[in-house]
Structure 1
Amino acid sequence: MNISTISLALGLSFSFLTPAAIAQDRSEHEQFAREIYEKVISIRTARGQEKVPEMVEYLVGQFKSAGFTDEDIQITDYDSDGEHTQGLMVYYRADGTPKHKPVVILGHMDVVDALAVDWERPPFTLTEEDGYFFGRGTMDNKYGITNIASTFIRLKKEGWKPNRDFVIVLSGDEETGMVSTRAQADYVAEHIDPEFVLNTDAGGGVLSDDGAPLFYAVQGAEKTYATFELTVANPGGHSSRPRSDNAIYDLADALRKIKEYKFPVRYSDLTLASFKASGAVTPGALGKAMRDFSENPKNKKAIAILRDDPETVGTTGTTCVATMLRAGHAENALPQSATATVNCRIFPGVGIAEVKEKLEKVVDNEAVQFELMTDVTESPESKLRPEVMAAIEASLSARGRNTPIIPYMESGGTDGMHYRIKGYDTVAISGAWMKPSDIFAHGLNERLAVDAFYGGLDHWYVIMKELAGDE
């Protein structure tokens, strides 16, 4: 029974209790999961810090304390863009001869960096305040890591014996080069060959603004991730002698044109089905736009509404947006170069060459040079396997949330794409339930509702038992 249930039953107010005092009323497993969460949030596993090995060491210690052996744990080292990182794989082995092929469960240990000067709270300290956990990675993806790691440990301590192997596969540079991701996917395909792959890094329950459960989202496809650098070079000169051409101005003009350009509307059977189902339970104008678009993807009013909402714009087609800038070399000199990073999320079926060609045409300035900075992975849609859907339904039922289960296409990118291209059905099914307005992944003051953290801790526990329990 949680605190809110107790207060309702007894007519008491617990407003005087601190988060630490409330935590004492949590179950042993809830407290243990929170300890893991607090520790991994504190490790700054961002680019340039080389802290992933520290997180690996901590997690390995927790797994070994629970009874996992050296044979169950595999640590791999990688060089990702000149930085040292690691991957971690942990096997929960079947009892005797497995009755089914293994299931791989993905997550990533690295995070996008956060600067303390920009945040309202220290980004690498778990802060519980106003009903939320704040900190970098509280959502992306250290909640997923905490949830699946604590579930493995919980089941091991209980002595559970599955009828198939489960393998946690944690990458160390998903937010950057994905070197560990690619290598792990190669290893999994060659040495494990799972029946399917599950991912902690997307999906999950969707709440309305007033907290009512709307539907459970299953990520079954991803857009293609591609990053370009746009560079303008110039002879420069003294700032007291301005030129008619200026690298910064030329680049600014190019970025303005990219901002104003809208890529053509795209859709697939999956995205139309997703809009139809989510529109049925989404209130207001946005829900109507979803339904209208699913019936007629050429509906201009619906398109305008969907493209004006950060939660749905990416599902309607390719997007490209400026994310970084660098220019000039001195305050009293004309810039000799100016460079912008433009990140694109490309709709499945639209090739990278087509996007680059369109951007160059939109910019219409030969002085702006385009360079593709990323390895591009175009992945197919995954099937929603009946046994996985049944396991999700069981997890939802255990929480009393018998909401619709809706597939969707991810506008972002995850490790899952590298398993899809190898032919494995890969779906992301986080245990968290969130309001769209609470999603601050990669941004300032990232957070996860305290209720979402604790409420999702049985998610993987139920799913694993459903997928590998007694028949």
Structure 2
Amino acid sequence: MRRMPKWAMLTAMAAACGLAAPSANAQQRTANEQSARQLYSDIIAFRTARGHKQVPAMVAYLKDAFIKAGFAESDIAITDYDSEGEATQGLIVRFAAKGTPKAGPIVLLGHMDVVEALPEDWERPPFTLTEEEGYFFGRGALDNKYGIASLSHNFIRMKREGWTPSRDLYLVFSGDEETGMITTRAQAKLVAETIKPALVLNGDAGGIRLTEDFKPIMFGVQAAEKTFATFELTVSNPGGHSSRPRKDNAIYELASALKAIEAYRFPVRDSAITRGSFAEMGKITPGPLGEAMLAFSRNPADEGARATLLAAPATANLLSTTCIATMLKGGHAENALPQSATATVNCRIFPGEGGAAAAQATLQQVIANDKVAFKLITDVVEAPASTLTPEVLAAVKAGVHPRFPDLIIAPYMESGGTDGMHYRALGMNTVAISGAAMRDSDMFAHGLNERIRVEDFYSGLDHWYRILRHLAD
């Protein structure tokens, strides 16, 4: 029996009692805020997860919104792709400069797809924007419907205000970043060959880090990310009747291999970005963790600093390659010995570590069992780190400091992956500078009850507005 989600139960009770659902926007807001909220709500309603084929519907909605704001049909391009057997689309919108552009184009990235969310598991409907307890809840509330809404809203706002940029601006939204990245790869190639941007700014990472009591401590500029590689590990055996056990059991052998991977820790690495990030974070992080950050930034070989940073979940993944089991399957009948067992192992490889081949070689050495077959199941993209240029730094200050005066701005390396890797791989300097503000404890992207604080949503509406005006006035 499927249990009724809490949100559905409350809605049903309200209806039974003849009560209207409480307003999701009880507080009075300006016309600009209401417009942004409506756009945000509308795009969260599209279930753009793999298998639901909703990306084209969301593209059609956004295209209509841009045309109503005054963008010409000729400035909007929809690209069609087949992403691992499912039709999806990308969207490109040009905000054209008047006359001869005074500088090279700026490309702004975001992705329209989301990770799946099962309504029966959530406390609230995942594909309905819910305002409750001071938060906006919904799948994509952060990753990355927030970025799409922020960028789209400001393009629409500036167009309606009659503003014209001094250089061409392009929104480039992908349709399958969370899965195959087919749209991302194709659009990155298209951008490199036809737009040839001077700057690529990503709305899918970066942003303001908050303490647990909501105090801003740093604006992070994502300038690098780990290499994403996924392997399937398979053990095959002759099998047989379950009443006659054998020593060569595929499930047991695979389990031993996974336990070896679990116990292994890749060597600690560092880069200019990680050292610089720890140097800034250490100044504002209290206690032993902050001291360890500063010590590591000065001397990455400091064993005490390494031990402290590796013991903290917030910093451990920034120091080395990580490989972890994420899926498992094995056997074919309850009364038969398994003929095969397979595990999926996802690696996030530190830049410069040798890529997927080096990670596989290390895992094979750790497992020390030739019967475990490896298969790389992802297309691996190794991308260099980007540079936070003076031009972009000045623009970020223009976007952030009116909201949080004198907030530290520093580049960092993302342990996850974004569209940005494909642009870096093609030689385009790409940094992510989202306007999101977030506590570590509120990070539920890809998880249940994804959310962003209402106050931070509204206070961040001018983030891209200020940045784009600074770069293209």
TM-score, length basis structure 1:
0.93
Paired residues for 1:358-437 under 5 Å: 358-437=362-441
Distance 2:458 2:204 in 1: 17
> Which amino acid in 2 is paired with 1:395?
G
Q: Which runs of 5+ in 1 are unaligned?
A: 1-16
Match of 2:359 in 1: 355
> Which amino acid in 2 is paired with 1:331?
E
Q: Secondary structure at the match of 1:448?
A: strand
Tell me by how many angstroms 1:325 deviates: 1.4
Distance 2:22 2:31 in 1: 18
Distance 1:410 1:245 in 2: 41
Distance 2:52 2:342 in 1: 24
1:143 aligns with 2:142: no
1:278 aligns with 2:270: no
Distance 1:288 1:458 in 2: 35
Distance 1:119 1:337 in 2: 35
Distance 1:405 1:450, change over 3 A: same
Match of 1:441 in 2: 445
Distance 2:205 2:404 in 1: 21
1:465 aligns with 2:469: yes
Tell me by how many angstroms 1:21 deviates: 4.8
Match of 2:75 in 1: 72
Match of 2:13 in 1: none
Match of 1:13 in 2: none
Tell me by how many angstroms 1:437 deviates: 1.6
Paired residues for 1:312-351 under 5 Å: 312-351=315-354
Q: Deviations for 1:409-431, whole angstroms, at most 9, x for unmatched residues?
A: 11111111111122211000000
TM-score, length basis structure 2:
0.93
Tell me by how many angstroms 1:20 deviates: 3.1
Distance 1:332 1:115 in 2: 33
Identity of matched residues, %: 61
Match of 1:160 in 2: 163
Tell me by how many angstroms 1:40 deviates: 1.5
Tell me by how many angstroms 1:227 deviates: 0.7
Distance 1:120 1:240 in 2: 45
> Which amino acid in 1 is paired with 2:237?
N
Q: Deviations for 1:215-258, whole angstroms, at most 9, x for unmatched residues?
A: 10001111111111111122223333332222222111111111
> Which amino acid in 1 is paired with 2:66?
F
Distance 1:133 1:309 in 2: 29
CA contact (8 A) 1:208 1:282 kept: no
Match of 1:83 in 2: 86
Distance 1:245 1:119 in 2: 42
CA contact (8 A) 2:200 2:431 kept: yes
RMSD (Å), alpha carbons: 1.5
Q: Secondary structure at the match of 2:318?
A: helix
CA contact (8 A) 2:233 2:375 kept: yes
Q: Deviations for 1:8-44, whole angstroms, at most 9, x for unmatched residues?
A: xxxxxxxxx9653534x11112111111211221211
Match of 2:11 in 1: none
Distance 1:320 1:382 in 2: 24
CA contact (8 A) 2:398 2:466 kept: yes
Aligned length: 452
Q: Secondary structure at the match of 2:270?
A: coil
> Which amino acid in 2 is paired with 1:340?
A
Paired residues for 1:32-71 under 5 Å: 32-71=35-74
Q: Deviations for 1:111-168, whole angstroms, at most 9, x for unmatched residues?
A: 1112223322222222222111122111111100000001100001101011001000
Q: Secondary structure at the match of 1:316?
A: coil
Distance 1:27 1:195 in 2: 35
CA contact (8 A) 2:24 2:130 kept: no
